Amino acid sequence: MLFPVILKSIVRTGSLRLIDGAGRTHMYGDGSPPHCTFGCVLAILTTRLP
Protein backbone atom coordinates (compact mmCIF):
# COMPACT_ATOMS: atom_id res chain seq x y z
CA MET A 1 0.00 0.00 0.00
CA LEU A 2 1.03 3.58 -0.53
CA PHE A 3 0.28 4.89 2.98
CA PRO A 4 3.14 3.02 4.76
CA VAL A 5 5.59 4.17 2.08
CA ILE A 6 4.53 7.78 2.61
CA LEU A 7 4.84 7.51 6.39
CA LYS A 8 8.30 5.96 6.13
CA SER A 9 9.47 8.84 3.97
CA ILE A 10 7.88 11.54 6.19
CA VAL A 11 8.79 10.26 9.67
CA ARG A 12 12.59 10.15 9.77
CA THR A 13 13.46 11.56 13.19
CA GLY A 14 11.31 10.52 16.13
CA SER A 15 8.74 7.77 16.15
CA LEU A 16 5.15 7.35 15.11
CA ARG A 17 3.12 4.43 16.40
CA LEU A 18 -0.07 3.75 14.44
CA ILE A 19 -2.64 1.43 16.04
CA ASP A 20 -5.22 0.17 13.56
CA GLY A 21 -8.81 -0.86 14.29
CA ALA A 22 -7.76 -4.50 14.78
CA GLY A 23 -5.28 -3.50 17.50
CA ARG A 24 -2.16 -4.10 15.38
CA THR A 25 0.70 -1.68 15.95
CA HIS A 26 2.75 -0.24 13.11
CA MET A 27 5.96 1.69 13.91
CA TYR A 28 7.55 4.37 11.73
CA GLY A 29 10.68 6.47 12.25
CA ASP A 30 13.94 5.77 14.03
CA GLY A 31 12.53 5.26 17.54
CA SER A 32 14.09 8.34 19.10
CA PRO A 33 12.09 11.12 20.81
CA PRO A 34 9.69 12.76 20.13
CA HIS A 35 7.14 9.94 20.22
CA CYS A 36 3.61 10.11 18.84
CA THR A 37 0.81 7.54 18.94
CA PHE A 38 -2.19 7.59 16.63
CA GLY A 39 -5.10 5.17 16.89
CA CYS A 40 -7.69 4.50 14.18
CA VAL A 41 -10.99 3.39 15.61
CA LEU A 42 -13.18 3.66 12.51
CA ALA A 43 -13.54 0.40 10.60
CA ILE A 44 -13.53 2.20 7.24
CA LEU A 45 -10.05 3.58 7.96
CA THR A 46 -8.77 0.15 8.99
CA THR A 47 -9.51 -1.28 5.57
CA ARG A 48 -7.68 1.55 3.84
CA LEU A 49 -4.58 1.83 6.06
CA PRO A 50 -1.64 -0.61 6.28
Q: pTM of the entire structure?
A: 0.67
pLDDT of the residue at 17 = 92
Residue ranges of domains in the chain:
2-48
- What does the pLDDT read at residue 3? 75
Task: Summarize pLDDT for 5-45 with one digit per residue, the tens.
Answer: 888 888 889 999 988 777 889 999 998 999 999 887 666 65
- Sheet of 25-29: strand order equals 25-29, 15-19, 35-39
Q: Decide: 9 and 33 in contact? Cβ < 8 Å.
A: no
Cα separation of 27 and 30, whole Å?
9
Q: What is the pLDDT of residue 44?
A: 63
